[in-house]
């Protein structure tokens, strides 16, 4: 009994050892010279492999940075710290960037919207969206089944009362939720932007009111109230230009449906 166990271990062990030695010799013989800078850059990057920079992963981004093909500001996960570190490694000047966060442009909670039908299928937004644009009375709003929550690797999204909201201190701006949302209601905004038009409904007036109690009815009151020309109603929907917005809250005060609000955590 013991002998057969020992022969098995010895046989497999020796085969493994032989291959191991052969491979380590081969790796020396066929070694590829890589730029030591790539390793250095890779060491600075957070290693989240989220792809927010536009490259397949941190390794590929590090390669591009080391070659000088990519900007050092693309890593959203690392934020300013990584930019500063990269600027040291690459000997270029660090730029100041504003941190971006994701924001869900919908407040159509259960009490604000109604269900058109009882959905009992697969519990993903993509699936319910395939059925007549979802079960909510507003066909633009959050479906609340959490495709974004599943896509988020940082626990930065929660669902409450059928609407997703972002926990901003956890958000690293990897944009995975933006891609995951079948309704395209998650957008990236600068973290300094507090005033939000929390609606994506491009319908007008009564049609919006019927669908949701906090929808944008495109009344243009906000556009008139804004002193900085920062909010524009376009295609039935108010949109804020955050380069001009000063968070003065004039538009919040005049919005009749309370669609425009201050984003608080």
Partner 1 sequence: MRQILFVILGTILVENFVLTKFLGICPFLGVSKKMDSALGMSGAVVFVMTFASAVTWVVNEYVLVKFGLEYLQTIAFILVIASLVQFVELILKRFIKPLYNSLGIYLPLITTNCAVLGVALLNIQNSFSFGMAVLYGFSAGLSFMFALILFSGIREKLETCNVAKSFKGLPIALVTAAFIALSFMGFQGMFAF
Confirm or reject binding of residue 117 to partner 1 (CB under 8 A): no
Would you state the structure tokens that stand for residue 80, as one six-digit string? 């300013």
* Cα 133 to Cα 131: distance, rounded to the nearest angstrom: 5
* Cα 241 to Cα 259: distance, rounded to the nearest angstrom: 16
Q: Contacts for 156-160 with beta carbons within 8 Å, 24 or more apart? A: 156/102, 157/102, 157/104, 160/109
Please classify residue 90 by burial: count the beta carbons closer than 10 Å to its beta carbon, then call 0-12 exposed, 13-18 middle and 19+ buried. Answer: middle
Confirm or reject binding of residue 121 to partner 1 (CB under 8 A): no
Confirm or reject binding of residue 184 to partner 1 (CB under 8 A): no
Compare residues 2 and 264 and give the one whose CB is closer to partner 1: 2
Q: How many residues bind partner 1, per CB under 8 A?
A: 18
Confirm or reject binding of residue 1 to partner 1 (CB under 8 A): no
Among 30, 96, 120, 256, binds partner 1 (CB under 8 A): 30
DSSP state of 101: E
Confirm or reject binding of residue 170 to partner 1 (CB under 8 A): no
Closest to 214 (Cα-Cα) out of 102, 101, 110, 103:
110
Confirm or reject binding of residue 179 to partner 1 (CB under 8 A): no
Confirm or reject binding of residue 32 to partner 1 (CB under 8 A): yes
- Residue 238, beta-bridge partner list: 233
Confirm or reject binding of residue 122 to partner 1 (CB under 8 A): no
* Cα 182 to Cα 175: distance, rounded to the nearest angstrom: 14
Q: Please give the residues from 49 up to 108 whose contact with partner 1 meets the rule CB under 8 A.
A: 56
Confirm or reject binding of residue 12 to partner 1 (CB under 8 A): yes
Confirm or reject binding of residue 131 to partner 1 (CB under 8 A): no
In the complex, the residues that contact partner 1 under the rule CB under 8 A are 4, 7-8, 11-12, 15-16, 19-20, 22-23, 26-27, 30-32, 56, 130
């Amino acid at each position: 009994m013991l002998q057969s166990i020992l022969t098995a271990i010895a046989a497999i062990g020796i085969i493994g050892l032989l291959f191991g030695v052969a491979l380590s010799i081969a790796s020396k013989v066929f070694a590829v010279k890589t730029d030591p800078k790539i390793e250095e850059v890779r060491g600075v990057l957070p290693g989240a492999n989220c792809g927010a920079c536009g490259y397949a992963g941190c390794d590929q981004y590090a390669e591009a940075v080391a070659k000088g093909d990519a900007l050092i500001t693309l890593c959203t996960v690392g934020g300013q710290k990584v930019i500063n570190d990269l600027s040291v490694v690459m000997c270029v000047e660090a730029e100041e960037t504003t941190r971006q966060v994701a924001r869900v442009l919908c407040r159509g909670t259960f009490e604000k919207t109604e269900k058109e039908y009882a959905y009992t299928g697969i519990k993903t937004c993509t699936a319910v969206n395939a059925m007549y644009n979802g079960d909510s009375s507003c066909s633009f709003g959050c479906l609340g089944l959490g495709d974004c929550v599943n896509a988020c690797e940082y626990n930065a999204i929660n669902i409450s009362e059928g609407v997703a909201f972002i926990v901003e201190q956890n958000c690293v701006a990897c944009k995975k939720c933006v891609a995951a949302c079948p309704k395209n209601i998650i957008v990236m905004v600068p973290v300094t932007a507090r005033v939000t038009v929390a609606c994506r409904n491009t319908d007008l007036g009564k049609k919006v009111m019927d669908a949701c109690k906090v929808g944008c009815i495109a009344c243009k009151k906000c556009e008139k109230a804004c002193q900085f020309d920062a909010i524009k109603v376009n295609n039935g929907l108010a949109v804020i230009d955050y380069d001009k917005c000063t968070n003065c809250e004039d538009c919040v005060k005049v919005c009749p449906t309370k669609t425009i609000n201050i984003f608080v955590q």
